[in-house]
């Protein structure tokens, strides 16, 4: 059995890439909103069913643009979850704001609106919520908090590409939504990011931010950075659009397979199922209750690793365990935050089309062992 990793980049056929490279080299248009970039941007706007979709060179720059566009005061507090990739609080901090951490709900592991309320001060400007593992946040609950306190609501949808909630596209929730198109994400452009919003008027602001604020040859209207996606990355993105649904379907079946394995194992539960939500199929998450199961997450992680199956203890450590945020409290409705209790029980299984029956059987065997 070959070793298997938690993620494997979805890559198009190399011959098709060469065709695009030939076109790019012939045209001499390699970046700065080239034809492939614009084609990809338009196709993503249609696919994701959003009024605004702007491409960026990576998810982090899309996040910085999303945070900048609303004109929050320097140093303003932005409430987020500690159960996310480091990029989320980093974007807030690098944007010149202060990340404030609130607890998650025990079932969805997304921001708990009640915990968020406890974190609010007169300096709070926004909530930056994360659809972590592709589980969708309590939008109604967070919106209610935002309306009550006059806050903006941003979503990090790095794990939620292609999700719909009761038919509505995830990219129109809140005031702005950021996606990562990094190689580890199902739909990827190798490196890439996307910023969407329900307000069409923001399109031009997003464009200016990603291109130094340049309006035309003689006019710079805004302070901007370089967040542009190259034609080569856009070409990969166009080709990956053709294979994206096939990979997603493979993963949907793999999820059903994993689900049926864990359904009769006490102490192991899969990620919560949300009625009306069409999943991104980005991750397969298990929550392992050591007291019930008998083995700890570490035991299972190490045993699988010895067999060449590399799972990930996502997201552990959590952001407040990292040096830059270690003195930051986690606002919660409980004495011990949910996230502190759950962080040592999370395990993401290999989840991509490279996973074969031998891997699934080995995983099943290891999860059943007591």
Ligand X SMILES: *Cc1c(COP(=O)(O)O)cnc(C)c1O
Interface residue list for ligand X (CB under 6 A): 58-60, 84-85, 87-88, 130, 156, 158-159, 180, 182, 193
- Residue 77 tokens, joined: 């507090």
The residue assigned the tokens 């799972």 is: 311
Nearer to ligand X, 61 or 164 (CB): 61
What DSSP element (H or E) covers 128? strand 124-130
Q: Chain-centre distance of CA 247, in angstroms?
A: 18
Nearer to ligand X, 279 or 359 (CB): 279
Minimum separation from the CB atom of position 7 to ligand X (A): 11
Minimum separation from the CB atom of position 88 to ligand X (A): 5
Minimum separation from the CB atom of position 181 to ligand X (A): 7
Nearer to ligand X, 69 or 262 (CB): 69
Q: Which residues pair with 194 in a beta bridge?
A: 55, 179
Minimum separation from the CB atom of position 192 to ligand X (A): 7
- Residue 16 tokens, joined: 């098709």
Whether the upstream peptide bond of residue 156 has omega within 30° of 0, thus cis, is: no
| CA distances from residue 125 to 78, 223, 261, 328 in whole angstroms, order as listed | 6, 21, 44, 18
Rounded distance, CA 234 to CA 157, Å?
A: 20
Minimum separation from the CB atom of position 303 to ligand X (A): 26
Nearest to 318 by CA among 145, 130, 184: 130
Minimum separation from the CB atom of position 158 to ligand X (A): 3
Nearer to ligand X, 98 or 159 (CB): 159
Nearer to ligand X, 171 or 367 (CB): 171
Nearest to 160 by CA among 139, 190, 142: 139
Q: Calculate helix-pair angle for 231-262, 357-368, nearest 10 degrees.
A: 50
Minimum separation from the CB atom of position 118 to ligand X (A): 23
Minimum separation from the CB atom of position 150 to ligand X (A): 26
When CB distances to ligand X are compared, the closest residue is 59
Nearest to 231 by CA among 43, 23, 12, 62: 23
- Residue 339 tokens, joined: 């996230």
Minimum separation from the CB atom of position 161 to ligand X (A): 11
Whether the upstream peptide bond of residue 317 has omega within 30° of 0, thus cis, is: yes
Rounded distance, CA 100 to CA 88, Å?
A: 11
Nearest to 99 by CA among 66, 133, 123, 135: 123
Nearer to ligand X, 130 or 363 (CB): 130
Rounded distance, CA 28 to CA 153, Å?
A: 40
Nearer to ligand X, 58 or 110 (CB): 58
Nearer to ligand X, 50 or 348 (CB): 348
Nearer to ligand X, 124 or 280 (CB): 280
């Amino acid at each position: 059995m070959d070793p298997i990793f938690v993620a494997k980049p979805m890559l198009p056929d190399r011959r098709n890439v060469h065709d695009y490279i030939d076109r790019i080299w012939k045209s001499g248009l390699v970046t700065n909103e080239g034809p492939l970039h614009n084609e990809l941007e338009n196709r993503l706007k249609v696919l994701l069913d959003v009024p605004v979709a702007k491409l960026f060179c990576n998810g982090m720059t899309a996040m910085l643009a999303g945070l900048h566009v609303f004109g929050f005061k320097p140093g303003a507090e932005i409430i987020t979850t500690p159960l996310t990739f480091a990029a989320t609080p980093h974007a807030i901090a690098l944007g010149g704001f202060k990340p404030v951490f609130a607890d998650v709900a025990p079932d969805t592991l997304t921001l708990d609106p009640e915990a968020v309320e406890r974190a609010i001060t007169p300096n709070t400007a926004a909530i930056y919520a994360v659809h972590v593992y592709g589980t969708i946040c309590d939008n109604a609950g967070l919106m209610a908090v935002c309306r009550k306190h006059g806050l903006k609501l941003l979503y990090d949808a790095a794990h939620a590409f292609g999700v719909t909630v009761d038919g509505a596209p995830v990219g129109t929730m809140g005031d702005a939504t950021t996606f990562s198109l990094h190689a580890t994400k199902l739909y990827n452009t190798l490196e890439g990011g996307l910023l969407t919003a329900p307000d069409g008027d923001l399109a031009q602001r997003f464009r200016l931010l990603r291109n130094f604020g340049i309006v035309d040859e003689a006019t710079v209207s805004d302070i901007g950075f370089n967040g542009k996606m190259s034609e080569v990355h856009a070409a990969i993105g166009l080709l990956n659009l053709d294979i994206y649904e096939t990979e997603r379907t493979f993963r949907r079946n793999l999820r059903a397979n994993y689900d049926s394995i864990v359904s009769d194992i006490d102490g192991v539960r899969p990620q919560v199922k949300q009625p009306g939500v069409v999943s991104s199929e980005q991750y397969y998450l298990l929550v392992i209750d050591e007291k019930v199961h008998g083995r700890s997450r570490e035991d299972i992680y190490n045993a699988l690793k010895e067999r060449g199956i590399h799972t990930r203890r996502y997201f552990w450590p959590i952001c407040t365990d990292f040096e830059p945020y270690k003195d930051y409290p986690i606002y919660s409705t409980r004495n011990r935050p949910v996230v502190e209790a759950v962080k040592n029980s999370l395990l993401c299984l290999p989840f991509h089309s490279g996973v074969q029956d031998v891997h699934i059987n080995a995983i099943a065997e290891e999860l059943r062992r007591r």
